[in-house]
Structure 1
Amino acid sequence: MQNQQEEEKIKRYNNNNKDDEKAEDEGHDKETAAPLLALNHVSRLCRNVKESIEFYTKVLGFVPIERPQVLDFEGAWLFNYGVGIHLVQSNHEDRLPSDPQHLDPQDNHISFQCEDMEEMERKLKEMNIKYKKETLKTEEGIAIDQLFFKDPDGFMVEICNCENLKLVPTDSSGKIKLPMDRHTPPVDTNRNNDAAD
């Protein structure tokens, strides 16, 4: 069922971008485009790497992955949903958010697309995580649900169902790349199977 939905999204995306492709074929200026594939990772300073690993794995479902041994500082790498989170032990308290409890949706934050907002809200309640819920209604009547909360170090996280919102470029500077266009890194599944034996 999910594959069928993804195929339908791709078809809609391709149909919506026929005008963009036509503009490119007619000599559209590509000087503004960068040779990027996708967001690779977000780096987060933390007071306690182990507490942050627990938060990002239990609350958001990230998976710890190996990090290069050449990195000679305390930290951890996590990955899921096509993006990584790199945790770095901070030795400077002043580099972390000063008010970890303050929830302001306009603060800097990372945002994750969610397929079941009610389930995510239930999970936050069960885990006693303070959050702020907002619903944004567009001029077209589209509702975007948002949940804002903080990680253990006070960095804001947003969970939303923003797929309801149509992407409309404000100028003709280039074609929007969607996650289906991105490079997928190789995953070593044998390592987990070897550990189970």
Structure 2
Amino acid sequence: MNTLKPRRLGHMVLMVRDIQKSVKFYTEVLGLKVSDWISDQMVFLRAGTDHHDLALSQLPKDSPDLDDLPRYSRPGLEHFSYLIDSVEEMERSVTVLQEHGVEIVRGIGRHGPGDNFFLVFKDPDGNNVELYCDMTQIDENSQHTPVVWERNIESFDQYRFERFVVPPPAHVVATKSGQK
């Protein structure tokens, strides 16, 4: 059987209790820089040139209606990621995951913040693992100004699920159709 071909560990997304307090910690104590926000619910931070190597996501006040397992009712890891070479490699990865009977959770898509392609799947313990490629690079000479994206389908997937190989998460579809 084929295997995936990651180049390196990429970024992580953490669920946090108080996003403002966490941003203050990661910028003022750890020295990370803010790249972009999605509303006041998610922030993308960087230590290097990748658009983000850490993202923080605000825990929902009431999370019972979310269907994206695991249910995020506590702080912790939402997903970690591995960089791959290209979109073509990501498409090949879908076949490899399917051959191995691995559950694909979301993707192939392209996020708004970071402009990166993504494919998320489950490991044997139910952790979300993401493959990504083509992330925006921000070097020290860049004139990058953080942008606040609306919390909508384009910030989640610029292709509006057209390239998804599985049905999109129901809570995102509800947002797309204006139900949430």
Bigger helix share: 1
Bigger strand share: 2
Higher relative contact order, structure no. (Cα contacts within 8 Å, ≥ 6 residues apart): 2
For the criterion TM > 0.5, the same-fold answer is no
